Amino acid sequence: MATLSQIARLAGVSVSVASRVLNGDPKLRTRQDTRDRVLKAAKDLNYTANYAGRALRLARSKALALIIPAVSSPLFADLLSGATDAAEAQEYTLLIGRSDRITAGSDTLRRLVGEGRVDGFVLQRSDDLSDQALENLVANDARIVLVTSRTPGRRGSVILDDVAGARLATQHLVSLGHTRIGLIGGVPSSDIARRREQGYALALHEANLRRRDAWVRRLGYSPEMGALAMESLMATDPRPTGVVVANVNGAIGALTALRRLGIDVPGEMSVVAYHDEWVAEHTWPPLTTVKMPYYQVGVQAVQSLLSQLSGSPPQDIVVRDPPPLLVQRMSTAPPPARR
Amino acid sequence: MATLSQIARLAGVSVSVASRVLNGDPKLRTRQDTRDRVLKAAKDLNYTANYAGRALRLARSKALALIIPAVSSPLFADLLSGATDAAEAQEYTLLIGRSDRITAGSDTLRRLVGEGRVDGFVLQRSDDLSDQALENLVANDARIVLVTSRTPGRRGSVILDDVAGARLATQHLVSLGHTRIGLIGGVPSSDIARRREQGYALALHEANLRRRDAWVRRLGYSPEMGALAMESLMATDPRPTGVVVANVNGAIGALTALRRLGIDVPGEMSVVAYHDEWVAEHTWPPLTTVKMPYYQVGVQAVQSLLSQLSGSPPQDIVVRDPPPLLVQRMSTAPPPARR
DNA sequence: GGGGACTGAACAATCGTTTTTTCAGAGTTC
DNA sequence: GAACTCTGAAAAAACGATTGTTCAGTCCCC
Longest Cα separation, chain A: 91
What is each CA distance from B138 to B103, B153, B303, in whole angstroms?
Answer: 12, 13, 20
> Whole-angstrom Cα distance, residue A93 to residue A82?
13
> With 70 as the cut, is the pLDDT of residue B338 above it?
no
Q: How far is the CA of A14 from the C1' of D5 (A)?
A: 48
Which residues fall within 8 angstroms of residue B233, CB to CB, at 6 or more apart? B182, B184, B215, B217, B239, B240, B243
Burial B133-172 (b: 16+ CB within 10 A, else e): ebeebbeeebbbbbbbbbbeeebbbbbbbbbbbbbbbbbb
Q: Hey, are the CB atoms on B223 and A72 less than 8 Å from each other?
A: no
> Whole-angstrom Cα distance, residue B243 to residue B308?
40
Closest CA to A245 of A197, A177, A310: A197
Crossing angle between the packed helical segments B223-234 and B248-261, to the nearest 10 degrees = 50
Q: In residues, how long is chain B?
A: 339
Name the CATH superfamily, with its identifier, for domain A60-161+294-319.
Response regulator (3.40.50.2300)
Q: What is the pLDDT of residue A99?
A: 80
> Whole-angstrom Cα distance, residue B333 to residue B12?
76
Element (H, E) at B62: none
> B247 and B169 in contact (C-beta within 8 Å)?
no
> What integer is the mean pLDDT of A326-338?
93
DSSP string for residues in B170-195: HHHHHHTT--SEEEEE--TT-HHHHH
Cβ neighbours, 10 Å, residue B194: 16
> Whole-angstrom Cα distance, residue B337 to residue B330?
18
- Which residue ranges make up each domain of chain A? 4-49, 60-161+294-319, 162-292
* Å between A202 CA and nearest CA of chain B: 31
Nucleic strand D near CB of residue A51 (< 7 Å): no
- The DSSP 8-state label assigned to residue B322 in this structure reads S
Which of the listed CATH numbers 3.90.1530, 1.25.40, 1.10.260, 1.10.10 matches domain B4-49?
Answer: 1.10.260
Q: What confidence tens digit (pLDDT) does each residue in B174-233 have?
A: 999 999 999 999 999 999 999 999 999 999 999 999 999 999 999 999 999 999 999 999
CB < 7 A to strand C: residues 34-73, chain B: 47-50, 52-54, 56-58
> A114 and A59 in contact (C-beta within 8 Å)?
no
Work out the percent of chain A whose per-residue pLDDT is above 70. Answer: 99
> Whole-angstrom Cα distance, residue A259 to residue A173?
20
Closest CA to B255 of A280, A254, A258, A283: A283
User: A53 to chain B: which residues are within 8 Å by CB?
Assistant: 52, 56
Does the fold of domain B59-161+294-319 match that of domain B4-49? no
Nucleic strand C near CB of residue A91 (< 7 Å): no
> Whole-angstrom Cα distance, residue B287 to residue B270?
10
Which residue's alpha carbon is at the shortest distance from the C1' of C14? A57
Residues linked to residue A288 through DSSP beta bridges, in sequence order = A272
Question: What does the CA dihedral B231, B233, B239, B243 come to, rounded to 10 degrees?
Answer: -100
Which residue's alpha carbon is at the shortest distance from the C1' of D8? B30
Q: What is the pLDDT of residue A132?
A: 87
Residues linked to residue B98 through DSSP beta bridges, in sequence order = B68
The CATH code of domain B59-161+294-319 reads 3.40.50.2300
Residue A240 burial by CB count (10 A; 0-12/13-18/19+): exposed, middle or buried? buried
Closest CA to A86 of A292, A252, A295: A295
* Helix/strand/coil for A67: strand
Q: In residues, how long is chain A?
A: 339
Closest CA to A51 of B122, B101, B99, B62: B62
Question: What does the CA dihedral B213, B215, B219, B221 come to, rounded to 10 degrees?
Answer: -130
CA atoms within 13 A on the CB side of A261: 20
Q: What is the pLDDT of residue B110?
A: 84
* Helix/strand/coil for B271: strand
Q: What is the pLDDT of residue B273?
A: 98
Nucleic strand D near CB of residue A22 (< 7 Å): yes
> Given pLDDT bands bounded at 50, 70 and 90, which one contains residue A105?
low
Q: What confidence tens digit (pLDDT) does each residue in B50-88 have?
A: 999 999 999 999 999 999 887 678 888 889 889 999 998
Q: What is the pLDDT of residue A107?
A: 77
> Whole-angstrom Cα distance, residue A51 to residue B143?
17
Q: Hey, are the CB atoms on B95 and A93 less than 8 Å from each other?
A: yes
Q: Which residue in B45, B48, B62 has the most chain A C-beta atoms within 10 A of its own C-beta, making it the best mutation to test that interface?
A: B48
- The DSSP 8-state label assigned to residue B338 in this structure reads P
Q: Which amino acid is at B159?
A: I
> With 60 as the cut, is the pLDDT of residue A301 above it?
yes
How are strands ordered across the β-sheet holding A181-185?
Answer: A216-218, A181-185, A242-245, A270-274, A288-291, A325-327
> B192 and B294 in contact (C-beta within 8 Å)?
no
> With 80 as the cut, is the pLDDT of residue A71 above it?
no
Q: How far is the CA of B66 from the C1' of D17 (A)?
A: 27
Closest CA to A319 of A291, A297, A302, A290: A297
Nearest neighbour of A48 by CB, restricted to B115, B256, B282:
B115
User: B256 to chain A: which residues are within 8 Å by CB?
Assistant: 281-282, 286
Q: Is B281 on the interface with A (CB under 8 A)?
A: yes
3-state helix, strand, coil in chain B (%, to 5): 45, 15, 40
> What integer is the mean pLDDT of B318-322?
95
> Given pLDDT bands bounded at 50, 70 and 90, which one contains residue A191?
very high
> Whole-angstrom Cα distance, residue A176 to residue A199?
18
> Whole-angstrom Cα distance, residue A327 to residue A291?
7
Which residues fall within 8 angstroms of residue A106, CB to CB, at 6 or more apart? A137
User: HEC states along B118-131?
Assistant: CCEEEECCCCCCCH
Q: What confidence tens digit (pLDDT) does each residue in A55-67 have?
A: 999 999 999 999 9
Q: What is the pLDDT of residue B164?
A: 98
> With 60 as the cut, is the pLDDT of residue B339 above it?
no
Helix then strand count (H, E) for chain B reads 12, 12
Q: What is the pLDDT of residue B138?
A: 83
How wide is the angle at C-alpha B240 spanned by C-alphas B239 and B242, nearest 5°?
Answer: 150
Burial A125-146 (b: 16+ CB within 10 A, else e): bbbebebeebeebbbeebbbbb
Nucleic strand C near CB of residue A235 (< 7 Å): no
Nucleic strand C near CB of residue A5 (< 7 Å): no
* Å between A210 CA and nearest CA of chain B: 32
* Å between A23 CA and nearest CA of chain B: 15
* Å between B308 CA and nearest CA of chain A: 19
Residues linked to residue B95 through DSSP beta bridges, in sequence order = B65
Closest CA to A261 of A289, A236, A287, A286: A236
> A211 and A201 in contact (C-beta within 8 Å)?
yes
**Of the given ranges (A58-62, A99-103, B156-160, B276-280), which has the lowest mean pLDDT?**
A99-103
Q: What is the mean pLDDT of chain A?
A: 92
Which residues fall within 8 angstroms of residue A221, CB to CB, at 6 or more apart? A127, A186, A246, A247, A249, A250
> What integer is the mean pLDDT of B299-316?
95
Give contacts of A 111-130 with B, CB under 8 A: 111, 114-117
> Whole-angstrom Cα distance, residue A254 to residue B183?
32
DSSP string for residues in A78-133: HHHHHHHHHHHHTT-EEEEEEGGG--TT--HHHHHHHTTS-SEEEE---TT--HHH
Q: How far from chain centre, in Å, is Cα A7? A: 42
> With 60 as the cut, is the pLDDT of residue A139 above it?
yes
> A170 and A181 in contact (C-beta within 8 Å)?
yes
Q: What is the mean pLDDT of chain B?
A: 92
> With 60 as the cut, is the pLDDT of residue A339 above it?
no
Q: Return the sign of the alpha-carbon dihedral for residues A256, A260, A265, A269.
A: negative
Question: What does the CA dihedral A50, A53, A59, A65 come to, rounded to 10 degrees?
Answer: 40
Q: What confidence tens digit (pLDDT) does each residue in A172-187 have?
A: 999 999 999 999 999 9
Class of domain A162-292: alpha beta
